[in-house]
Amino acid sequence: QKEVEQDPGPLSVPEGAIVSLNCTYSNSAFQYFMWYRQYSRKGPELLMYTYSSGNKEDGRFTAQVDKSSKYISLFIRDSQPSDSATYLCALIQGAQKLVFGQGTRLTINP
C-alpha cells in the first residue's frame, strides 16, 4: 500500500469552477501536509502547507486536513487557466523527507 494515495486524473474543468483535489494517507504519524504545484517541464513549487488538522486559506486556495480520516484536500476557487498544472500533495517524514502523492493533472478550460 502506498503511503500517500492521490488520483492522477486528468481533471478538466471550465474557468471559474471550484476545484477539489484530494489525497489520503496511511501513516497517522504525519504532522505536516504540503501542496506543491508543478507546471510542465518545471520543478515542484510549494503552494501551501498546514500543520495538523484544520483549514488554511491563501487567496483563492484553501488547504484542509482531516487527521481522523487521514484525508487532505486542496480547494481552488474561481479557477483560472493559469492554474492548469499538476498538483502534488506531500507529507513530511521525519524533519526533511517529503513523501509525495502521484499528482493530479488539472486543466482549466477558458
Partner 1 sequence: EAGVTQFPSHSVIEKGQTVTLRCDPISGHDNLYWYRRVMGKEIKFLLHFVKESKQDESGMPNNRFLAERTGGTYSTLKVQPAELEDSGVYFCASSPRADSTLTGELFFGEGSRLTVL
List contacts with partner 1 (CB under 8 A). 2, 4, 6, 32, 34, 41-46, 49, 88, 92, 94-103
Distance CA 52, CA 39 (A): 27
**Mapping DSSP to helix (H, G, I), strand (E, B) and coil, where does residue 4 land?**
strand
Name which of 13 and 92 has its Cβ closer to partner 1: 92
Least separation in angstroms between residue 14's CB and partner 1 is 28
Is beta strand 85-93 parallel, antiparallel or unpaired with respect to 97-100?
antiparallel
CB of 7 to partner 1, least distance (A): 12
Nearer to partner 1, 65 or 88 (CB): 88
Nearest distance from C-beta of residue 30 to partner 1, angstroms: 12
- Pick the closer one to partner 1 by CB: 13 or 48: 48
